[in-house]
Amino acid sequence: MGWEKKYFPEYWDGRKLAYPHVPKESPKFARSIVVGNLIFVSGCTGQDTITGKPTAETFEEQMIMALDKVGMAMKEAGSSIDNVVKTVMLVKRQSDYAKMRTTEVEYYLKHAPYLAENPPASTFIAPVSLAKPEFLIEIDVIGVVDRNAPGWKVTYYPEFWGGKRLAYPHVPKEHPKFARTEVVGNLVIVSGCEALNHDTVRVETNDFKEQARICLEKIRAGMAETGGSIDNVVKTYVLLKDIKYCPLYRQVEQEFFEKYAPALVKRRPASTVINVSSLALPEFLVEVEAFGVIDKEAPGWAAKYFPGSKDASGSASAGDLLFLSGCDGSDPDTGKMETNLIEQQITIALDKVKAALEAAGSSMEKVVKTFMLLKRLADYPSMRKAEVEYYEKHAPYLVDNPPVSTFMQLSSLKNPEALFEIDVTAVL
């Protein structure tokens, strides 16, 4: 199995979610895209796009609908929900965390028994809002077609807290449950790492720098357990409870890399910073999720890094999978925000995406997945319109075949003046 790509369009009310089948201002994305053995699924919300009924009011009903849509997408791609290896749980209210984990495991017990005992790698994010104010949850998923595909075999590494495996029935239904890491072929997926002491199951410091160091140490341990090392990380997502901590996080990261991952000092992983409303526990200040490789020279899976900012590579690849750092509408040379118009900021951000892709030997038409981040929910229609108009000019294939996409509104982006930021995964 190589890196072949298959595209599965999304349909709402019988209309393909692509222009001109829907208006420029409308949501537009694929249901899923398969790359080799990997399945990327667009964020699934509680909106009933199957029967067209109104969105349920309860969290549990919305989550069941979202999981039903995940299952449909996985099945259409030739797999099943049992083959999910990674989730990002976007939950509007942190108070729904226990409901989320309970509903998740009860759904798995009924529809995906393997995942009840072997839950996927996972990261939790509480954004300000999802695409509609009434949405309470969105589930972003990576799966596989076949857990035993030659060259793409999945290896599962469980997480333990207080000596208990983070899976039901070892821990209660409402308790956190996820893998420490999942390996697909040579690709390592590390669950979001936070400052919880896994022996005492307590957060023992409220010092940001110490919490950041604990996160990075957990990534180092997770990578080492798979046979790799933190030197082989190609992408990080840095979740911050307060965006003011971003420079401090980069300082801690620099010091950690100098000590444990000297190769990453000069060739940083691609990285995207997300300012969350809350993490899984109120005392968490930072969480870091990572993608890496076991062997950065493995045939067909080599890791490469491409120039970017002082904080991150413009992009980094694992095999033919290409991860970009988050791109906003600031001036690429000065870093300053020269416009407060959302459409202009989006164009500048997409210009950066285009430049980073081409520098890595890829192109806009090879975008597989986007995370779309907005500061103002009211800008959502403008965002989708500006996106498709950019594709019309620079990536015609994406007009009728838009990428997999997940959206969230944040209270602030990395640049406080930014109104929009995009995170991209593509293929070479």
Confidence of residue 27 (pLDDT cuts 50, 70, 90): very high
Q: Has residue 254 got a pLDDT over 70?
A: yes
Residue type, 29: F
**What average pLDDT does range 235-257 have in this prediction?**
97
Q: List the domain boundaries for the chain.
A: 37-175
**What average pLDDT does range 139-155 have in this prediction?**
97
Amino acid 314: pLDDT: 83
Q: Has residue 49 got a pLDDT over 90?
A: no
409 by Cβ neighbours in 10 Å (0-12 / 13-18 / 19+) ranks as buried
The 3-state secondary structure of 336-404 reads CCCCCCHHHHHHHHHHHHHHHHHHCCCCHHHEEEEEEEECCHHHHHHHHHHHHHHHHHHCHHHHHCCCE
CA dihedral 219, 225, 231, 236 (to 10 degrees): -30
Pairwise CA distance, residues 133 & 409, whole Å: 10
Pairwise CA distance, residues 399 & 21, whole Å: 10
The pTM of the full predicted model, rounded to 2 decimals, is: 0.97
Per the structure block, which two tokens stand in for 358?
């081409």
| 47 vs 308: which has the higher pLDDT | 47
Q: Has residue 137 got a pLDDT over 90?
A: yes
Pairwise CA distance, residues 312 & 310, whole Å: 6
Pairwise CA distance, residues 383 & 65, whole Å: 26
Q: Has residue 307 got a pLDDT over 90?
A: no
Mean pLDDT computed over every residue of the chain: 96
Per the structure block, which two tokens stand in for 113?
């028994």
Q: Where are the beta strands (DSSP E) in 56-167?
A: 84-91, 121-125, 137-144, 154-158, 160-161, 164-165
**What average pLDDT does range 378-382 have in this prediction?**
98
Q: What is the DSSP letter of 414?
A: S
Confidence of residue 313 (pLDDT cuts 50, 70, 90): low
Q: What is the pLDDT of residues 314-353, one digit of tens each?
A: 899 999 999 999 999 999 888 899 999 999 999 999 999 9
Among residues of the chain, what percentage have pLDDT more than 70?
A: 99
Confidence of residue 311 (pLDDT cuts 50, 70, 90): low
Q: Has residue 88 got a pLDDT over 80?
A: yes
Amino acid 312: pLDDT: 63
Q: Has residue 74 got a pLDDT over 70?
A: yes
In CATH terms, the superfamily for domain 37-175 is: RutC-like (3.30.1330.40)
Q: What is the pLDDT of residues 170-184, one digit of tens each?
A: 999 999 999 999 999
Q: What is the pLDDT of residues 180-197, one digit of tens each?
A: 999 999 999 999 999 999
Q: Has residue 310 got a pLDDT over 90?
A: no
Distance, CA of 391 to chain centre:
22
Distance, CA of 44 to chain centre:
13
Confidence of residue 51 (pLDDT cuts 50, 70, 90): confident
Give every CB contact of residue 96 below 8 A, 6+ residues apart in sequence: 59, 136, 137
**What average pLDDT does range 225-241 have in this prediction?**
97
